[in-house]
Amino acid sequence: MNQDRLEQQTAAIATLEEQARQRTATLIARGQRLIGRALPLPKILFDLRGQTAGQVRIDGRGRGTIRYNLALLLRHGEEFLGRTVPHEVAHYVTFLQHGHGIRPHGPEWSQIVLALGGDAERCHRYDTDGLRARNTRWFSYHCRCGEQRLSSIRHNRIARGTRYRCRLCGEFLRSGTGSQTGA
């Protein structure tokens, strides 16, 4: 790739990243007006890979990070700015207003995403051809009801001390033997 083309590509990436940052800040300001209080600006990263378009993380101290998938932003530019950015900002605003006790795409989030000008779709429909999705490992856990399969994410949380109850019997889940890999 020649130097001019590389510089053009680098400038295009920087422009789209800046547009996503500005759109995020604008929507957070709108979210502040919606819930009637100041909101801290989250850290914004463009490090998400695979087929996920965006993600919000809140650390133990309540500091937020919004992660965007740069490959999808580059492929879908304006649509990404109009759909994914409001979607993720709505998660951030909803968390700061309601905390952990709500469903991620529940009525509280739906109300906020619509007020921010987004849509209440849970998943994007972007072309993800050529973007690799991660294989998820599944682990067996047990309760009174029988076997429950938990993803590696929940399995790792359990390893760090989190406890999960079965939704049916209420018993704490206990690890079983072995694991399986699946898509």
Residues 6+ apart with CB under 8 A from 165: 171, 172, 173
**Percent of residues, the chain, with pLDDT higher than 70:** 94
Between residues 26 and 129, the one the model is more confident about = 26
Identify the structural domains of the chain with CATH numbers, from first to last: 3-115 (3.30.2010), 136-182 (no CATH)
d(CA 167, CA 171): 8
Q: Average pLDDT over the chain, rounded to whole?
A: 89
- Measured between its terminal Cα atoms, the distance across the chain in Å is 35
Q: What amino acid positions are annotated as catalytic residues?
A: 88
Do residues 99 and 108 make contact, with C-beta atoms less than 8 angstroms apart? no
What pTM did the predictor assign?
Answer: 0.72
Between residues 60 and 11, the one the model is more confident about = 11
Helix (H, G, I), strand (E, B) or coil at 43: strand
Please say if the pLDDT value at position 131 is more than 80: no
Of the pLDDT bands very low, low, confident and very high (cuts 50, 70, 90), residue 46 is very high
The pLDDT value given to residue 182: 45
